[in-house]
Chain A
Amino acid sequence: MSVNDSLVVVVLAQAVLYGTPLLYAALGELLAERSGVLNLGVEGMMLFGAAVGYWVTQSVHGADAPVLVLALVGAALSGAAMAAIHAFLTITLRASQIVSGLALTIFAGGLGLSAYFGAELDLASLPVTHQFASLDVLGLADLPVLGPILFDQSALVYASWVLTLLVAVYLGRTRWGLNVRAVGEAPASADAMGINVTRYRYIHVLVGGALAGIGGACFSLSIIPNWFAGDSLVNGAGWIAIALVIFAFWRPGICLVGAYLFGGLSALPSALQAHGVTIPPEFLYSLPYVMTIVVLVVVSTSLAKRRLGAPAALGIPYVREER
């Protein structure tokens, strides 16, 4: 047995695979939260993105690459459309961000629009036609240890690395990024500086939704290329992505690390079972959820100590005349 078939390498390679949807969704949520809007609808937006992405691959015929790009565009647009509802309710109508986000997850999720959409178009009965294949980058896929982890992944993975870098540079090194942070920390001051708070919030919530949609499409086009009715496709990844943003102290680079940590936990059950470990699977399946709680507890106690925290205006609607 080569080293690349060992449990550790398999889990690490799968960690990158399973971590990628988390990374997209978490980066999207991070952008929205940095602008001061908490969106708890990630789970719903992801599932709807997964459904629409899958539908596009079914209804467009052609070579893999253009069809898959189109599918991602479709997933992004559908995620953004869902986010637009949340943006309108919370930014324009000043509704509670928490309740609106929960409503979005119920509306778009496995018992709502995604199921409706999937059933109306009979997605579950359609066979897979296009999916993201792993690329053998520079012919290094057979490299011991690093090969399967870094060089044998799909284009979605490499694009997510570029995206992480872009988001980090955008937030930390550009004028717009500075404005976003101002809007999230002190909207009244930002407003006084002439920054359009409403516009910034809308844009970032929509982009966040688009990225959640792409994250969902990672499931239906790459990890489990298929569509099932119900919740089981995304299965809580949206909620883990929200936790990930807290874990990452609202910083994109740490999101990348955290995504692979949780991706590894999601990959562990099937890898262990393949290696003949006989722990009841339910305990293994609970692992990512339990670990999310553990990580959150550790982070929230240290957050308090180090005075690192959420954007100050997170969750608070901005009303010019009531500041």
Chain B
Amino acid sequence: MIRLERRLDQPKWLSVAVPVGSLIAAFAIMAVILAVTGHAPGHTYRQMLEAGFTGNGAFSATLLSATPILFTGLAAAAAFRMQLFNIGAEGQLYLGAVGASWIALKLGDGDAGSTPLYVLAMCVAAGVMGALWALIPGVLRAFANTNEIITSLMLNYVAGFLITYLIFDSSSYWRDVSTLQAQSFPQGKPMPAGAEWPTFGSSVVVPLGFLIGLGVAASLWMLYSRTRFGFEVSVIADSPRAARYAGMRTRRKILAVMAISGGIAGIGGASQIGDFTHTLDPTGLQGAAFGYTGIVVAALARYNPFAVCLVAVLLGGLQNAGFTLQGPDFPSGLVGVMQGIILFCALGGELLIRYRVTISRRARARADTGSAAEPAR
């Protein structure tokens, strides 16, 4: 008979071993699915490893893919920590991209030396836009007690329509209408040269956005584990009632956490503009589903900011491999299926962290309870 006993203390090594074990389990399950659908799992995995990590320039491309999901992962982790399920990172990232491209276009062609100014302005504008977008579900949750899961998700669709409108269905500030070709095939204005974010390194190219993401992760860790604010957030997460009795202002915390979460996702949008697309590209943004992948990243990292960085690189590799390999050999949807299975395995593995699984024979279990009951009589 299998019994589950709640662990009184959770050993440190388990919180590393279980995610790693979950990953291995997920790859094993996926191998079965691949084999059943007529793909050779060994071959597919080797291809993925090469396209995602070991191939020529593969790791640089992976870091570029990891950057947006690092931000959305941190955004999800920041909110989920307080049991606040902001799944609107997708839309907050779009709005961030809108804000960042707006300010970059406003600043116009500066001299190349002013790039730090562009980076700063783009991050601030994007962060503000993302935070404001996230505050809609935040305010509704804090003051009308409306479920933030559904409202933040609905706003993803609205944000998607908004950026589509800006480029495809209006002659907005963001749309390029300078040439005849651009008028018939709608596209965003190209960013000024100064708004192209620098990269670092030569054999492995690290985009600036990724470094900013690491900085955000470190600040988030500081905020949540070294400040009074972070302490109150964790109390509210664990026991809202205790927090209320202790006089903590729950509403303010909801607003603050949503704004932080949305702001981080928004900066992810700025990094997409500065590091990657250099224009507002609604189709590319919406096709990538960065926000949803961020949830997978955060959950797999158990909402720990540093673990988010690692997991983002891992899933960035997966996404990059999926992007490079797409074709008849590599079924579409494989990346999403993998992400889902990894998350399922991580959720299942969570049980092993919280509970001790003991297997004992039914007869012995009975004898145990019998002898335990004896002295009581």
Contact = CB atoms under 8 A, between A and B. Distances in A.
B332 A119 contact: yes
Contact of A300 (B147, B295, B339): B147
Nearest to B137: A293
A322 B333 contact: no
Contacts of A303: 145
A116 B169 contact: no
Interface stretch (B127-135, B209-217, B345-353): B345-353
A187 interface: no
Contacts of A99: 295, 299, 343, 347
Interface in B251-299: 289, 292-293, 295-296, 299
A103 B333 contact: no
B346 to A, nearest CB: 9
Contacts of A95: 347-348, 350-351
A280 B155 contact: no
Nearest to A86: B344
B48 to A, nearest CB: 15
Q: Which of B37, B155, B343, B344 has the most CB of A within 10 A?
A: B344
A114 B333 contact: yes
A189 interface: no
B165 A107 contact: no
A13 to B, nearest CB: 25
Interface string B138-167: 001000111101110111011001101100
Contact of A107 (B161, B289, B336): B336
A115 interface: yes
Contact of A103 (B162, B331, B343, B351): B343
A103 B340 contact: yes
Interface of A, secondary structure class, is: helix
Contacts of A106: 292-293, 295-296, 336, 339-340, 343
Contacts of A322: 6
Contacts of A108: 340
B144 A297 contact: yes
Given A113-B340, A119-B333, A289 B157 contact: yes
B237 interface: no
B258 to A, nearest CB: 15
A239 interface: yes
Given A119-B332, A119-B333, A293 B343 contact: no
Contact of B347 (A93, A236, A239, A292): A93
A286 interface: yes
B158 A286 contact: yes
A301 interface: yes
Interface string A73-116: 00000000000010001000111101110111111111111111
Contacts of A285: 161
B225 interface: no
A290 B348 CA distance: 35
A290 B165 CA distance: 16
Interface in B285-323: 289, 292-293, 295-296, 299
Nearest to B355: A94
A89 B147 contact: no
Interface in B84-102: 85, 87
Q: Which of B37, B145, B333, B351 has the most CB of A within 10 A?
A: B333
28 contacts: A93-B347, A95-B347, A96-B350, A98-B85, A99-B299, A99-B343, A100-B344, A102-B299, A103-B340, A103-B344, A103-B347, A104-B340, A106-B336, A106-B343, A107-B337, A108-B340, A111-B289, A112-B340, A229-B332, A229-B333, A236-B157, A282-B169, A292-B154, A293-B140, A297-B144, A297-B146, A303-B145, A304-B145
Given A98-B149, A99-B343, A296-B150, 16 more contacts: A93-B350, A94-B351, A96-B347, A99-B347, A100-B347, A102-B292, A103-B299, A104-B340, A113-B340, A235-B157, A239-B153, A292-B150, A292-B154, A293-B136, A300-B144, A301-B146
